[in-house]
Amino acid sequence: MEYKKTIVITGGAGFIGSHVVRLFVNKYPEYKVINLDKLTYAGNLANLKDVENKPNYRFVKMDICDFDAFLSLMRSEHVDGIIHLAAESHVDRSIKDPFTFARTNVMGTLSLLQAAKLYWESLPEKYDNKMFYHISTDEVYGALEMTHPEGVESPFTTAASSQHHHAYGETFFVETTKYNPHSPYSASKASSDHFVRAFHDTYGMPTIVTNCSNNYGPFQFPEKLIPLFINNIRQRKPLPVYGKGENVRDWLYVEDHARAIDLIFHKGKVAETYNIGGFNEWKNIDIIKVVINTVDRLLGREPGEDMNLITFVTDRLGHDARYAIDSRKLQRELGWEPSLQFEEGIEKTVKWYLENQEWMNNITSGDYEKYYDDMYKNR
Ligand code: NAD
Ligand code: DAU
Closest ligand to Cα 16: 1
Taking the C-alpha atoms of residue 207 and residue 188, their distance in angstroms, rounded to an integer, is 18
pLDDT value for 227: 98
* Contact criterion met (CB below 8 Å) for 86 and 14: yes
Question: In the annotation, is 138 catalytic?
Answer: yes
Taking the C-alpha atoms of residue 98 and residue 43, their distance in angstroms, rounded to an integer, is 19
Closest ligand to Cα 35: 1
For the entire predicted model, the pTM comes to 0.98
User: Which of 242, 286, 311, 349 has the most ligand 2 atoms within 8 A of CB, as the residue to mutate?
Assistant: 242
Closest ligand to Cα 87: 1
Residues contacting residue 324 through CB under 8 Å, at least 6 positions apart: 144, 167, 168, 169, 171, 172, 173, 213, 248, 250, 277, 281
Q: Is the CB of 43 under 6 A from ligand 1?
A: yes
Question: Cα of 16 to ligand 1 centre, how many Å?
Answer: 7
pLDDT value for 163: 61
Which of the residues 185, 253, 274, 323 is marked catalytic? 185
Taking the C-alpha atoms of residue 153 and residue 208, their distance in angstroms, rounded to an integer, is 32
Length of the chain: 379
Q: What is the pLDDT along the chain (379 residues), one digit of tens a residue?
A: 799 999 999 999 999 999 999 999 999 999 999 999 999 999 999 999 999 999 999 999 999 999 999 999 999 999 999 999 999 999 999 999 999 999 999 999 999 999 999 999 999 999 999 999 999 999 999 999 999 999 998 888 777 766 667 899 999 999 999 999 999 999 999 999 999 999 999 999 999 999 999 999 999 999 999 999 999 999 999 999 999 999 999 999 999 999 999 999 999 999 999 999 999 999 999 999 999 999 999 999 999 999 999 999 999 999 999 999 999 999 999 999 999 889 999 999 999 999 999 999 988 877 777 777 788 776 7
Q: Where are the beta strands (DSSP E) in 11-88?
A: 31-37, 57-61, 81-84
Q: Is the CB of 89 under 6 A from ligand 1?
A: yes
pLDDT value for 370: 75
User: Which of 85, 193, 214 has the most ligand 2 atoms within 8 A of CB, as the residue to mutate?
Assistant: 214
Looking at the CA of residue 219, tell me the nearest atom of ligand 1. Answer: 3
Looking at the CA of residue 215, tell me the nearest atom of ligand 1. Answer: 40
- For atom 25 of ligand 2, the residue with the nearest CA is 247
Closest ligand to Cα 17: 1
pLDDT value for 1: 78
* Contact criterion met (CB below 8 Å) for 134 and 198: no
pLDDT value for 162: 61
pLDDT value for 191: 98
Looking at the CA of residue 89, tell me the nearest atom of ligand 2. Answer: 8
Which of the residues 37, 88, 139, 306 is marked catalytic? 139
* Contact criterion met (CB below 8 Å) for 298 and 354: yes
Question: Cα of 151 to ligand 1 centre, how many Å?
Answer: 31
pLDDT value for 145: 93
Residue 136 parent element (H or E):
strand 131-137
Q: Give, in order, the Cα–Cα distances in Å from 366 to each of 273, 328, 371, 372.
A: 40, 43, 9, 11
Question: Cα of 26 to ligand 2 centre, how many Å?
Answer: 30
Question: In the annotation, is 92 catalytic?
Answer: no
Q: Is the CB of 353 under 6 A from ligand 1?
A: no
